């Protein structure tokens, strides 16, 4: 890593793994070329100038790699293709057949390096080019068909095996990272999203509202008397209750709906709805399905939030926006609890490029004049036994 100065300050330019590996292979070729040039008997007559040309190209490649780091796919492809041609040319001008075949093995390095970060089509292209160059050089040196078959096959295997291993390791690492990401966004008890997973997908909901022009339905469902049941029958029964309710909600929600457990006995459902009446119908369906499918009931508070876009300002998927919806849904949930539980309370709201406005009362709930999208009102919590 290094630091380059600019008018705006220090600019950090890093080597990625692929660029660093290519630079190491380029630098490592220099001593080999110097030794070959200083040993005329090692080369075929009249071919020393080829070694000089390859050396010049290698030095230029090193400079380009250092200055252009990290290399993008196009830069890597050009430099690597030139490197493979240089390796094949070096093998062709070496007088000794054994040494020439050993140099050809170096062709395996380029496809393996490509497999670290390049897309599959680039890796396949490098494998085919490397194999073609290797077979071409072997064919010009082989003294029999058997020698060509054995030497060519050995070189091709030497190219394929490390490339396959690197590709397999890369896929395994990607799958492991994806699994880790899924675990971090999933509630381990119920298997649905947790608060982090909900926050990570909030931008998709906002984008869907922008594209469809439909309001966002933000639903907060809370199990009635959960604390009493948990204290009386134990946490194992409480956990079974949470699993049952999450399963019932998952069965009742329409496709393309976000469902998350956001803490304790609280669940959040988010989707685009046609209007406030549509959201109210969905909430009633959820409430009745939980009551029919489990031994408990839920109270539901919901907000139908219409999105308005200020010209020239894109709506931001801010944490404050989500907290504002939580706050309004919490108040509606409290209303549902006060009505005797196992009930639904729905209100309307407006999302204006980030700020949240209470349409029903006409009061701004979430914005200061100098902070678009910022929720300033603290979130209310229900403190009675839910």
In the chain, alpha helices (H): 17-38, 48-68, 73-93, 97-104, 109-117, 120-141, 145-184, 195-212, 226-233, 235-252, 276-293, 319-338
* 119 within domain boundaries: yes
In a domain, 207, yes or no: yes
CA nearest to 64, candidates 119, 94, 100, 26: 26
Same domain, 306 and 170: no
Same domain, 357 and 213: yes
**Is the Cβ–Cβ distance between 386 and 327 less than 8 Å?**
no
Can you give the residue range of the structural domain that contains 46?
Answer: 2-183
The verdict on 213 and 146 lying in the same domain is no
Q: Which helix (H) or strand (E) holds 12?
A: strand 9-13
**Do 240 and 169 share a structural domain?**
no
pLDDT at 351: 67
Of 148, 183, 218, at which residue does a domain stop? 183
CA atoms within 13 A on the CB side of 241: 24
| 8-32 exposure pattern, b = at least 16 Cβ within 10 A, e = fewer | eeeeeeebeebbbbbbebbeebeeb
Residue 213 CB-density burial (10 A; 0-12 exposed, 13-18 middle, 19+ buried): exposed
Query: Do 143 and 266 fall within a single domain?
Result: no
Residue 300 CA to its chain's centroid (Å): 34
- Alpha-carbon distance 308 to 374, whole Å? 16
Orientation angle between helical segments 73-93 and 48-68, nearest 10 degrees: 160
212 and 96 within one domain: no
Q: Are 62 and 79 in contact (CB under 8 A)?
A: no
Residue 80 near residue 26 (C-beta atoms within 8 A): no
376 found inside a domain: no
Task: Kindly report the number of other CB atoms within 10 A of residue 1's CB atom.
Answer: 8
Q: Are residues 127 and 174 in the same domain?
A: yes
The pLDDT, as a whole number, for residue 207 is 78
- Is 135 part of a structural domain of the chain? yes
CATH at residue 237: 3.30.70.270
State the residue for tokens 């100038």: 49
> Which residue reads 């796919």 in tokens?
73
Q: How far apart are CA 304 and CA 271, in angstroms?
A: 10
Mean pLDDT for back-to-back runs of 10 residues, the chain (386 residues): 38 70 88 88 90 92 89 88 91 89 88 87 91 91 88 90 92 85 84 88 80 90 90 89 94 92 92 93 95 94 82 57 86 92 90 50 34 35 42
pLDDT value at residue 360:
42
Query: 165 and 219: one domain?
Result: no
Judgement on whether residues 206 and 309 belong to the same structural domain of the protein? yes
Are residue 11 and residue 92 in the same domain, yes or no? yes
Kindly report, residue by residue over 184-223, the tens digit of the pLDDT. Answer: 888 889 999 998 888 888 878 877 887 888 899 999 999 9
Residue 371 lies in a domain: no
6 and 154 in a single domain? The answer is yes
Do 249 and 130 lie in one domain? The reply is: no
Q: How many domains does the chain have?
A: 2
Say if CB 276 and CB 304 are below 8 A apart: yes
Q: Is residue 41 part of a domain?
A: yes
Q: What is the pLDDT of residues 110-147, one digit of tens each?
A: 899 888 888 888 899 999 999 999 999 999 888 888 98
């Amino acid at each position: 890593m290094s630091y380059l100065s600019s008018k705006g300050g220090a600019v950090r330019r890093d080597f990625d793994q692929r660029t660093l590996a290519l630079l190491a292979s380029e630098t490592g070729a220099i001593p080999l070329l110097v030794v070959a040039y200083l040993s005329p008997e090692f080369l075929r007559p009249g071919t020393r100038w080829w070694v000089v040309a390859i050396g010049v190209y290698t030095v230029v490649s090193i400079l380009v790699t250092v200055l252009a780091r990290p290399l993008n796919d196009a830069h890597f492809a050009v430099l690597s293709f030139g490197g493979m041609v240089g390796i094949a040319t070096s093998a062709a001008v070496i007088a000794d057949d054994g040494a020439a075949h050993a140099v050809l093995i170096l062709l395996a390095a380029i496809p393996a390096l490509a497999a670290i970060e390049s897309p599959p089509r680039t890796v396949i292209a490098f494998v085919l080019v490397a194999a073609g160059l290797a077979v071409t050089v072997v064919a010009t040196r082989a003294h029999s068909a058997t020698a060509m078959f054995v030497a060519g096959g050995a070189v091709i295997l030497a190219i394929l095996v490390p490339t396959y291993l690197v590709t397999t390791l890369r896929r395994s690492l990607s799958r492991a990272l994806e699994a880790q990401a899924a675990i971090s966004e999933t509630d381990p008890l119920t298997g649905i999203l947790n608060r982090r997973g909900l926050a990570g997908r909030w931008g998709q909901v906002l984008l869907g509202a922008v594209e469809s022009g439909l309001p966002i339905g933000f639903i907060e469902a809370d199990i009635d008397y959960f604390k009493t049941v948990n204290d009386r029958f134990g946490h194992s029964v409480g956990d079974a209750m949470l699993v049952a309710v999450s399963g019932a909600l998952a069965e009742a929600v329409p496709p393309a709906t976000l469902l998350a457990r956001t803490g304790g006995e609280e669940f959040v459902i988010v989707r685009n709805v046609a209007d406030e009446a549509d959201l109210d119908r969905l909430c009633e369906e959820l409430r009745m399905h939980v009551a029919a499918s489990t031994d408990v009931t839920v109270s539901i508070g919901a907000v139908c939030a219409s999105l308005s876009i200020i010209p020239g300002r894109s709506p931001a998927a801010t944490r404050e926006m989500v907290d504002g919806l939580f706050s309004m849904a919490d108040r509606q949930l409290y209303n549902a609890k006060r009505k005797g539980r196992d009930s639904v309370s729905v209100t309307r709201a407006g999302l204006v490029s980030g700020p949240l406005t209470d349409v029903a009362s006409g009061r701004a709930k979430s914005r200061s004049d100098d902070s678009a999208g910022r929720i300033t009102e603290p979130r209310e919590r229900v403190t009675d036994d839910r």
